[in-house]
Amino acid sequence: MAEELKIESAIILNGIGMVDNAVIGYYDGEKYVEEIIKEPAEIVSMQGNIGKCDEKIIIHVHIGIACKDHMVRGGHLIGGKVRVVNEIALYILEKIKIERIRKEKLMEMELK
């Protein structure tokens, strides 16, 4: 959707809603350890940013989700599917650009 709307730099202020089959990740210093949450889950927290790396749009999202047992799990949102609706507030950056630069195993963020 960011590409469709031509959003190249933005701050994801917050988000709520539900997600199915969420894939969340924890970076252990070497790689992402992924977990798939197969049941529908409520988004209780979401923030991040939208930027570019090598001319490709990169969406970097941290998320907290609560399942039916009311336990909250969180980490980097790697994948998932919207269930019902998600409400996400963006602050689109016009004068500042977020650019990610690959350095070794990480993608560092710079503002231009």
Residue 32 included in any domain: yes
- What's the one-letter identity of residue 3? E
pLDDT in tens, the chain (112 residues): 667 777 789 999 999 999 999 999 998 888 889 999 999 999 999 999 999 988 889 999 999 999 999 999 999 999 999 999 999 999 999 999 998 887 766 656 565 6
74 by Cβ neighbours in 10 Å (0-12 / 13-18 / 19+) ranks as middle
Residue 1 included in any domain: no
Q: What tens digit of pLDDT does each residue of 53-79 get?
A: 888 899 999 999 999 999 999 999 999
Q: What is d(CA 95, CA 102) in angstroms, rounded to the nearest whole number?
A: 23
For residues 52 and 100, the answer to whether their CB atoms sit within 8 Å is yes
For residues 101 and 110, the answer to whether their CB atoms sit within 8 Å is yes
**Which residue reads 């049941």 in tokens?**
39
- What's the domain range around 81? 10-111
pLDDT at residue 32 in the model: 86
Q: In the chain, how many domains are there?
A: 1
Q: Which domain CATH number covers 62?
A: 3.30.1330.80
Structure pTM? 0.85
CB atoms within 10 A of CB 67: 15
